[in-house]
Amino acid sequence: MAPGPRSGRRYRVLMAPSGRGRATLLAFVASVTLLSPAPASAGTSIGGIDVSQWQGDIDWSAVAAADIRFAIIRATKGKDVLPEVLPAFVDPKYEQNVAGALASGIVVGAYHRATPDAVATDARGEADYFLKHARIEAGDVLPALDIEETGGLSVDELREWVRAWLARVRARTGLRPLIYTSPNFWRTNLGDTTWFAKHGYPLWVAHWDAPAPSVPAEDWAGRGWTYWQWTVGDRGSVDGIDTAIDRDRFAGASLAGGTIASLRVTPAAGGTITGPRIACGGVDLRCFRLANPGETVELVATPDPDMAFLGWSGACAARGTSPVCSVPMRGRSRVSAAFRAVITLPQDGAGTTFRWGTTDAPGTVGGSYRWDHRAGARQTFAFEGGAISLITVAGPGMGKARIGIDGSRRMTLDGWAPRRTLGVTHRFDELGPGPHTLTVTALGIARERATGTRVGVDALRWGGSMRADPPIASGTWAPGSAAAASDGTFVASDAAGAAASLGFDGAGVSLVTARGPGMGSARILVDGVFVRTVDLFAPTRTFGVEAGITGLTDGRHVIRIIVVPPEDRPGRTVVVDGWIVR
């Protein structure tokens, strides 16, 4: 790793004080080479260094001026061969090096020099010691394990040691650390295993003075190297450092591909956002995590009871109102979500409008007329002036209706006639100036000779103008009751073309309806756009059935339900039991 004091030729040395203070040579790298130029890939990579206490005091501003973009700094080392003399320790220059590099705008990373042995808890202990002392923050180079000695372990034992160290760091940080090794060491002492590469642990390969590194583990399972320690420069080869110095390259044009990514979730009232190592909302406030660059973190927005998910912001904004978002981790990502209270409305709640069905009838004023036949179905029209004429349709299937003006009963209309008659006019005058209302309420009854109880409204005339299919001020379908209904009551219609509408503010809405053997179909439109047709037939009657739409842009919308009698069965009824706005 970072070289100790040496001559112009490069020997890797590891020194430990003896009991008499002598320096004992413990190991060396068996290659002796001359300095070589920068690797051929330098134009598509980013330059850096790795350092330890052996570099002494570093002038980090001079290093930065030499176009060194990152520094991987030794934080800790495991116990030495004489643990009673030199147990695991923190590099004495670590904090000084981190502070100096950061102050000079150099990206930092931390590595741990491993000293494996056969003690079962050794790897976890070294990992915990590293995590206790190393800086591991968003934007830093990924933490690294420097594995370049076996400690006398077999290939299988060393694999397990490395796996245990990496797993411990991943469990505590959410990160897959870099693995620092040489090609020969990996192939010889870890059996050239591809397990670590296939499980997402990136490679920091040490291969000096070659035009390109030899990459073990089948080119690291096809992923290649992430960092490359490509040479050791002589004293003074990097401005600001007086000793020999390891030189490194990152394989990419942006360090964001090799530094720690982060995800910060902003908690929002009304729900939680969850994902791996994230549980943000309510009493859970694990709203921040680190991740390897290139990793994908899947988040799920879950509204609290009686709340609805409205949509994402930040890195998930493009997902709109889908409750699931996959965040590709690179750099610093931020995410939030919005929730709102679910509003439950009765069938005739604020913003609702009901219109009767329609039947084409040539010869009527507008070519068709509005009708219903169930008791209690009502339509109210607003008009101006002292008089109004109601134009209706008479015939054998027509029944009776109550006509009211300004809330007062004026007459009971009997629509029966031996044959169909159009343009039947009922005039109401001497009303006085100003605004008025006319209400037509179907009674659901008819004289004995009638074949039905239908009440038809063709047109209204006031102020000198005839108005076919006039707009309504208010109205309802026929009321009904059932213990299973949301508040014990509902409204229903089986008239083809009858419509129930609700204007609402939100990102989703549902009609609360019923299924059953006598039910028909309902066509659903939102803001005038067809959504789908819902078949409400079922062998047994069930209330509390929801049919609607989510994923709308949060704002003002109108949902419209139109009765569509099926052609293949007698059931025609559509029930409105309530509305749910999200």
Instruction: Report how far residue 226's alpha carbon sits from residue 150's, in angstroms, rounded to the nearest whole number.
Output: 23
Are 477 and 354 contacting, i.e. CB atoms less than 8 angstroms apart? yes
CATH 2.60.120.260 boundaries in the chain: 375-475, 478-581
Give the confidence band of 569 by pLDDT, cuts at 50, 70, 90: confident
d(CA 477, CA 576): 9
Considering the domain 45-257 in this protein, what is its CATH number? 3.20.20.80
Question: Token pair of 161, please?
Answer: 């040691």
CATH 2.60.40 in the chain, residue ranges: 261-340
pLDDT on residue 87: 60
Q: CATH 3.20.20.80 spans which residues of the chain?
A: 45-257
Helix H or strand E segment including 480: strand 478-481
Confidence of residue 80 (pLDDT cuts 50, 70, 90): low
Look up residue 422 and give its two tokens: 């159009």
- Token output for 400: 């009776």
3-class DSSP assignment, residue 122 = helix
DSSP classification of residue 91: -
Q: Which of 496, 523, 521, 491 is nearest to 377 (CA)?
A: 491
Catalytic residue selected from 146, 295, 372, 458: 146
Is residue 140 annotated as a catalytic residue, yes or no?
no
Q: Tell whether the model's pLDDT for residue 371 goes beyond 90.
A: yes
Among the listed ranges 86-95, 278-287, 341-350, which one has the minimum average pLDDT value? 86-95
Domain 261-340: CATH class, spelled out: mainly beta
Q: What is the mean pLDDT of residues 321-337?
A: 96
Tokens of 339: 């929730």
What is the Cα 435 distance to its own chain's centre?
A: 52
Q: Please check the confidence at residue 13 and state whether its pLDDT lies above 50.
A: no
CATH of domain 478-581: 2.60.120.260
- Into which CATH architecture does domain 375-475 fall? Sandwich (2.60)
Report, as an integer, the average pLDDT of 484-504: 95
Q: Catalytic: 160?
A: no
Set 126, 140, 148, 295: catalytic member: 148
Instruction: Give the C-alpha separation, 480 to 486, whole Å.
Output: 12
Nearest alpha carbon to residue 244 among 233, 229, 260, 257:
233
State yes or no: is 148 an active-site residue. Answer: yes
Res 233: pLDDT: 79
**What is the torsional sign of CA 435, 441, 447, 453?**
positive
Task: Out of 28-42, 82-96, 142-156, 184-198, pick the least confident.
Answer: 28-42
Mean pLDDT, rounded, for 455-481: 95
pLDDT band at 552 (very low <50, low <70, confident <90, very high): confident
Using a cut of 0.75, tell me whether the model's pTM lies above it: no
Q: Give the pLDDT of residue 120.
A: 80
CB 403 within 8 A of CB 442: no
